[in-house]
Amino acid sequence: MRTHGEYVIYCKSMIKPIPVNSFHLKGNEKKYINDCIDSGWISGEGQYIEKFENQFSQYVGRDFGIAVANGSAALDIAVLATEIGPGDEVIIPTFTIISPALSIVKAGATPVLVDSDPITWNMDVTQVEAKITSKTRAIIAVHIYGLPVEMEPLLQLAKKYHLKIIEDAAEMQGQTYNEKNCGSFGDISTFSFYANKLITTGEGGMIVCDDPAIAKRCKKLRNLAFEPEGPRFIHHEMGFNYRMTNMQAALGLAQLEQVNTSIDKKHSIGKYYDQHLHFLLQHKYQLPLPETSYAHNIYWIYGVVAPDEQEKQQIVTHLKDHKIGTRPFFWCMHEQPVFKKLNLFHGQKYPTAEKMARCGFYIPSGLGLTDDELEVVAKTFRDFYE
Ligand SMILES: Cc1ncc(COP(=O)(O)O)c(C=O)c1O
């Protein structure tokens, strides 16, 4: 016979885990991938790449799309295609994934950091102008977690100081700012199609722009800087192999066909949690802002900020004990060991972003999440506080 403790462990072992991310591949994905296999076009050339580039850029409202290996690769290329190099400064939020900062540093330029807005979790655009110097070349406008960063003030600063805007819309397929698609604002804009995005290709990314010369340059950098017209294997500059495969693009095309359903699903997940986790506000949590004057939250992920680090640890452990996956929020750029080693951001402090990084985490919010799973997540939070 089992002891009570053993019985509890036994019951827990029967619970089906609820992963923090789950995807939805229920359309033409298999059909298109089979087509790649049957036709023999499986690597970095093929009709699906062209179709996906054309249809995705059209969807965003841009003239050109350049499909690449992932969202970080898209940023590497965007930074180089913007002619950013040694001696230049580029403004980014400190609260972001590391990719934009890495792209800047790899280009030999210096990232300049800005704190976050405590309500939207995006870069506080009111703090940007004070960071502009004679060396500033660009701003990377990173959209974070579900609400876009306020583009209008950034576009005005760019105009006033002759700066370029790189728009990192990695998380923002289907999101709009003032009813215009995210990804349509930057001189160059980038997307990620990692498995947790609204459109996934497993791994993948896209650069979009309107300038044919920039598009041509991005294509060249993506393909080891082969000269498009020149003799093969003679290279005049350094490039990357950041090509997307035809099979990834086949996935992407099938996913693009379902994007409206994916947007609706994200909204319904967000609405459910807004309603059923509302009680967390009494426990001094912060929940995502459902809307601003310029956008409805698309809830790419559903993040919450606990009142302090200890409480975050306790609730995350409780959720983990019930097999519910969570992820911590991004860790600030000025606190990254890799950048400390490079002597970057010495002594800098960004209190809002630091609090978010320490106390924030996100909960299951993937497109494959079922109604039952949503209920279990909300109930597990409630049980902790009752
Ligand atoms: C804002 C942002 N930029 C860039 C990336 C990098 O994309 P990838 O993981 O495809 O390299 C991500 C990834 O989620 C992201 O959230």
Atom of ligand 1 nearest to the CA of 171: 16
The pLDDT of residue 13: 63
Residue 12 has pLDDT above 80, yes or no: no
Residue 192 Cβ inside 6 Å of ligand 1? The answer reads yes
Rg value, the chain, Cα: 22
pLDDT digit string, tens, across residues 36-76: 999 999 999 999 999 999 999 999 999 999 999 999 999 99
51: amino acid identity, one letter:
K
Gap from CA of 69 to ligand 1 centroid (Å) = 12
Mutate to test the pocket of ligand 1, among 171, 242, 298, 365 (most ligand atoms within 8 A of CB): 171
Residue nearest to atom 2 of ligand 1 (CA): 170
Determine the distance from the C-alpha atom of residue 25 to the mean position of all C-alpha atoms in its chain, rounded to a whole number.
Answer: 19
Residue 168 Cβ inside 6 Å of ligand 1? The answer reads yes
What are the distances in angstroms from CA 205 to CA 20, 155, 273, 312, 370?
A: 21, 24, 29, 32, 27
Residue 15 has pLDDT above 90, yes or no: no
Residue 4 has pLDDT above 90, yes or no: no
What is the β-pairing status of strands 136-142 and 89-93?
A: parallel
Looking at residues 218-232, what average pLDDT do you find?
94
Gap from CA of 205 to ligand 1 centroid (Å) = 9
Q: Rounded to 5 degrees, what angle do the CA atoms 133, 172, 337 make? A: 55
Gap from CA of 368 to ligand 1 centroid (Å) = 20
The pLDDT of residue 301: 98
The whole-angstrom separation of Cα 203 and Cα 74 is 12
Looking at residues 179-203, what average pLDDT do you find?
98
Residue 273, classed as helix, strand or coil, is helix
Q: What is the pTM of this model?
A: 0.96
The pLDDT of residue 3: 60
DSSP letters, 125-169, are: GGGTGGG--TTEEEEEEE-BBTB---HHHHHHHHHHHT-EEEEE-
The pLDDT of residue 328: 98
Q: Residue 162 contacts by C-beta under 8 Å, 6 or more apart in sequence? A: none
Looking at residues 129-152, what average pLDDT do you find?
98
Gap from CA of 20 to ligand 1 centroid (Å) = 16
The whole-angstrom separation of Cα 97 and Cα 101 is 8
Gap from CA of 99 to ligand 1 centroid (Å) = 7
pLDDT digit string, tens, across residues 289-300: 999 999 999 999
Output 5 or 131, whichever has higher pLDDT. Answer: 131
| H or E segment to which residue 305 belongs | strand 302-305
> Phi, psi at residue 360, to the nearest 5°?
-95, 150
Gap from CA of 125 to ligand 1 centroid (Å) = 21
Residue 2 has pLDDT above 70, yes or no: no
Atom of ligand 1 nearest to the CA of 70: 10
Instruction: Label residues 231-260 b or e (16+ Cβ within 10 Å = b).
Output: eeeeeeeebbebbbbbbbbbbbbbbbebee
Mutate to test the pocket of ligand 1, among 23, 68, 72 (most ligand atoms within 8 A of CB): 72
Residue nearest to atom 7 of ligand 1 (CA): 71
The whole-angstrom separation of Cα 5 and Cα 13 is 12
pLDDT digit string, tens, across residues 341-375: 999 999 999 999 999 999 999 999 999 999 999 99
CB-CB contact of 193 with 204 (8 Å): yes
Residue 71 Cβ inside 6 Å of ligand 1? The answer reads yes
The pLDDT of residue 230: 86
Residue nearest to atom 8 of ligand 1 (CA): 71
CA dihedral over 308, 292, 113, 144, signed as positive or negative: positive
Q: Residue 18 contacts by C-beta under 8 Å, 6 or more apart in sequence? A: 323, 324, 325, 364, 369, 373, 376, 377
Gap from CA of 14 to ligand 1 centroid (Å) = 34
Gap from CA of 385 to ligand 1 centroid (Å) = 34
The whole-angstrom separation of Cα 119 and Cα 36 is 45
Report the percent of the chain where pLDDT is more than 90: 95
